[in-house]
Structure 1
Amino acid sequence: MEPQNFSSDSAKAIVSQFIGFLLDSYDLTMILGIAPVLAKVLLPPESPLLATFNIILSYSLTIIFRPLGSAIFGNLGDKIGRRADLIITVIGLGLASALTSALPTYAQVGILSFILFVLVRVLVGIFAGGEYSAGHPFAMEWTPYKWRGLVSGFIQGGFSFGAALAAVVEGIFIGIYGVTGVEEFAWRYVFLTALAPAVVALAVRLTMKETPVFEDVKKKNLIRRTPFLDLFKEPYRRDFLQVMLYMTGMFFFAYSLFAFVPAILEHKPSIFSLGTAETIYSYGTYAAFAGAVFFGALSQYVGRRRLTIIWAILTFIISIPIYYLLFTSAEIGNFLTASLASILIGIITQGPWGIIPIYLSERFRASMRASGVGFGYSSGIFIGGWFSIYVPLMHQYLFKSIDTPSNVWFSTAILLMIGAILVGIGQYLGPETLGTKLVEETQKI
């Protein structure tokens, strides 16, 4: 049965996934926010922009391994339950993220430093892919129906909140030690802070109960032998492919903020210091959190499908003007208008993510939900995860005359427009899920 009212178990499930998703974003944002610092620490001296792209590319290689984590832990979550899965993933994610702080530098071991960095990112990617496979269904299966949209937005907002927290922490370390101090040693302390949210999330998860929806699956003897493989069989294959198209566009949305707003603010002709750029970017992540909560709550009344299609159309129209505002503001050093642009980008790119936990949970049956949510979420990475290649290629061969030699504002706007097209088409091809029951009432096929 599904919960009818909020309980302490509902609250624990929501807080647990908020913190777990926060940790995921916190780690990723650390990489993107101080990419110029890591480029100097882990790579040989070369073009600053090219070195930064190399760090962002390693970020892409990291998220490419998320589907593997989703496949492993999603399948496990449908077999043994969501709770046990989540305890394993948060321990792995926290330790792997903190391990970054122990890496040797290029000055110490040469290119081996960057190779080790990539290997650590692979571990992070595997555990992160497992984190939302069981975590999103766990939280949504504990949430009463009328609160699904709001809670979905709040949980997904944990990603933006983690990004904002990371930007603040980076700003604090830069303020205390200066850019030189961060480059020399304090970057290690920055990554070590990832242990804090991991410990809190683990403490909460150890006190949680399994969801009533999964208990119902066990009671009805609906546990599948191969829940992950069932995603690619009829009649579920078409559902998975529709979700994959939609999520590809959503990843273009996400990294139009998280990957390239910092790059636009930190490279010429921007005249902002690294600390100022981090502050402006953090405003965008605060707005992203608010946008996700608002979008999720509104979808409970307007509908997931209808709201997303309308939003995609508006995003396509506004993409170039908003990024042009960000670029020109950075060029002249106008803090106020750059902050406004960052806030607007945060809202338009991250608002639609507010429905992801509940939309994906409603798209897949309870007996295959962890696999469906996890791998469906991660499937957008197969094409969308290579944004760190698409934007440099567009910059170099298509839009260099519009961009500047060291800035990618127009190419990023085009990436977001492509994302809007994919998101709109992806939702159009799928059903409206508002009103779907999370309990599996019929025998599995």
Structure 2
Amino acid sequence: MVLGRNEANKVIDRQATEQRSQVRKAAIASAIGTTIEWYDFFLYNTAAALIFPHLFFPASSSYAGAMQSFATYAVGFAARPIGAAIFGYWGDRIGRKATLVITLLLMGIASGIVGVLPGASAIGIAAPLILVALRLIQGLAVGGEWSGSVLLTMEWGDQRKRGLLGSFAQIGVPAGLVLGTGGLTLLSAVLSDAAFSAWGWRIPFLLSFVLVGIGLVIRLRILETPMFAAVVAKQQTSRSPVGDAIRHHWREILLSAGLRFSEQMPFYLFTSYVLVYVVAEHHYSKTFVLNAVLVGAALELFTIPYFSQLSDRIGRKKVYLSGAVLTGLLAFPYFAVLKAGGYAPVFLIVIASMIAHAMQYGPQAAFIGESFPTHLRYGGAGLGYQLASVFAGGPAPLLATWLLHVTGTPYSISAYILLAVVVTVLCAVYITDRSRTDLTDHAAYARRPA
């Protein structure tokens, strides 16, 4: 009997050790995979502000070129909900791991091709058309990436730490921004403007081929999440997971999308549009503005997990609403500082805006992921998260450029940010905080049976 108990304890210890090992692998795979995805995505965002207007739209005026460049930028966001639906179907049918391998390949290859794409002076109108097509592929890939990366950690680890574990996928955003923006910052600093515009900007895009190889090696070593594996074992997968998510959880999808307005829309103004506004309107150097964004993004590597862990202790809703309110409070001071100028004030206000973003983006992964049952979680969470891209993130730089052109004042953009905050606060009030819910308990979602 004693021998049997000892053997049983050894088995339990081995299982616990394997569990911890898989959680670590899942966390690393989630963080590195999303870092690579967002590295590629942010490279395009930054290049859209600094390079693409004169490279792919040389015949346009400065204003028209910026509008056209940001329009191609917005195309990627419009494709993201479609990617969420396509890969959400497969993620809830065949599993998280296999789907994430496909999204990583799509993003890496599309970004690498951007690095060798000739400009309009070489191949004419084909250049911007190919650019749009590649941006569409990027959007599809990112659309399918996010929810899978979040679930990879949320469904593997300690359920009392879902906020912290989900934040490993969120860290990919500032990490990708640091790598992508940092790479362009370094190149713009060491190269002449002519060399940077001619070929220097292409180097970070070409590195995507190397990074995607690293990401694939890591992702192929992880196992399927135990929560989804249990759903498969019990034959509880849905034949039409995306359709079922929309049919039975449309409220959560819409609230999740609205939840993101005060996080996503200002973030793309603060990291992409600001490059155009401060450089063009107030004549700061590109390197200075890129450095400010870079420092703010580096700070998020610490603030995102901090606020995520805080949400495990006091609840998602409290932390999230605090971040949304802070974003609203910064809306007018942000542009007042940019307008008044001064290197130190501009630098500090850019960093402050990133802290407000981290307060929302950190807990967001768990907040949205917890709103859907396991067998519909990949598609449901992905749709909710990516739907905001069509109405919030994608149009933001485009609308900001238009608002400034029409009104002549940046405070019209501040009002635009406040509108986004109002939408988020209302959605946060009505969405259910499931930070204490057992995600394997289907009864918790019985109010809208799936």
Question: Under a length normalisation based on structure 1, what TM-score does the superposition of the two structures give?
Answer: 0.91
Q: Distance in 1 between matches of 2:327 and 2:285?
A: 29
Aligned counterpart for 1:355 among listed residues 363, 379, 382: 363
> Which of the residues 384, 392, 395 maps onto 1:386?
395
| Structure 1 partner of 2:268 | 255
Q: Distance in 1 between matches of 2:59 and 2:117?
A: 18
For 1:99 and 1:297, the matched residues in 2 are separated by 38
Secondary structure at the counterpart of residue 93 of structure 2:
helix
Aligned counterparts, 1:401-416, within 5 A: 402-403=409-410, 410-416=411-417
Shift of 1:129: 0.8
Query: Against the structure 1 CA distance between its residues 244 and 394, is the aligned structure 2 distance closer, same or farther, given a 3 Å change threshold?
Result: same
Determine the C-alpha separation between the residues in 2 that align with 1:98 and 1:367: 34
1:238 aligns with 2:238: no
Which of these residues, 311, 320, 333, is aligned with residue 323 of structure 2?
311
Shift of 1:441: 4.2
| Alignment match, 2:339 | 327
Indicate whether 1:223 and 2:224 are aligned.
no
Does 2:35 correspond to 1:22? yes
Offset at residue 281 of structure 1 (A): 1.9
The alignment status of 1:338 with 2:338, answered yes or no, reads no
State how many pairs are aligned.
429
- C-alpha deviation, 1:4, in angstroms: 8.1
What RMSD over aligned residues (CA atoms) do the two structures have, in Å? Answer: 2.0
Change (3 A) 1:253 1:157: farther
CA separation of 1:302 and 1:323: change in aligned 2, threshold 3 A = farther
User: What CA distance in whole angstroms lies between the structure 2 residues aligned with 1:276 and 1:317?
Assistant: 25
**Shift of the alpha carbon at 1:126?**
0.8
* Conserved 8 A contact 1:153-1:295: no
Which residue of 372, 376, 395 maps to 2:380? 372
Please report how far the alpha carbon of residue 388 of structure 1 lies from its aligned counterpart in structure 2 after TM superposition. Answer: 3.2
In structure 1, how many angstroms separate the alpha carbons of the residues matched to 2:168 and 2:414? 27
Q: Rg bigger for which structure? A: 2
TM-score w.r.t. the length of structure 2 is 0.90
Provide structure 1 residue ranges, at least 5 long, that are not aligned to the other structure.
404-409
Counterpart Cα distance in 2 of 1:418 and 1:363: 25
* Kept in 2: contact 1:29–1:166 (CA 8 A): yes
Contact in 2 for aligned 1:244/1:376 (Cα 8 Å): yes
Q: For residues 109 and 411 of structure 1, what CA distance do their matches in structure 2 show?
A: 38
Q: Which residue of 1 aligns with 2:76?
A: 62
The change in CA–CA distance for 1:49 and 1:4 in structure 2 (over 3 A counts) is farther
Contact conserved, 2:151 with 2:369, CA < 8 A, in 1? yes
After TM superposition, the structure 1 = structure 2 runs for residues 5-16 of structure 1, keeping only pairs within 5 Å, are 7-16=20-29
| Post-superposition offset of 1:166 | 1.2
After superposition, the Cα gap between the structure-2 partners of 1:350 and 1:54, relative to the gap in structure 1 and judged at 3 Å, is farther
Q: What's the CA shift string for 1:390-418, capped at 9, x where partnerless?
A: 22332233x31x23xxxxxx343333222
What per-residue deviation string (whole Å, max 9, x for no partner) do you get for residues 45-84 of structure 1?
A: 4333431232122111111101111101111010001111
1 CA distance for matches of 2:292 and 2:329?
23
Q: Do the aligned residues in 2 keep the contact of 1:65 with 1:125 (CA within 8 Å)?
A: yes
Contact 1:216–1:439 at 8 Å: present in 2 too? no
- Structure 1's 440 and 82: CA in aligned 2 closer, same or farther, altered over 3 A? farther
Instruction: State whether residues 167 and 308 of structure 2, in contact with CA within 8 Å, keep that contact through their aligned partners in structure 1.
Output: yes
- Secondary structure at the counterpart of residue 247 of structure 2: coil
Task: Report the Cα offset of residue 367 of structure 1.
Answer: 0.4
Matched, 1:112 2:126: yes
Deviation string 1:412-443 (CA, Å, 9 cap, x unpaired) is 33332222111111110111111122224459
Contact 1:83–1:209 under 8 Å retained in 2: yes
Measured in 1, the distance between the counterparts of 2:424 and 2:121 equals 44
CA deviations over 1:164-205 (Å, ceiling 9, x no partner): 211110012223322210211222212112233322221111
**CA shift digits 1:336-371 (9 cap, x unpaired):** 222111110111134301112211221000000100
The CA distance in 2 between the partners of 1:142 and 1:315, in whole Å, is 32
Identity %: 23
Conservation of the 8 A alpha-carbon contact between 1:74 and 1:130: yes
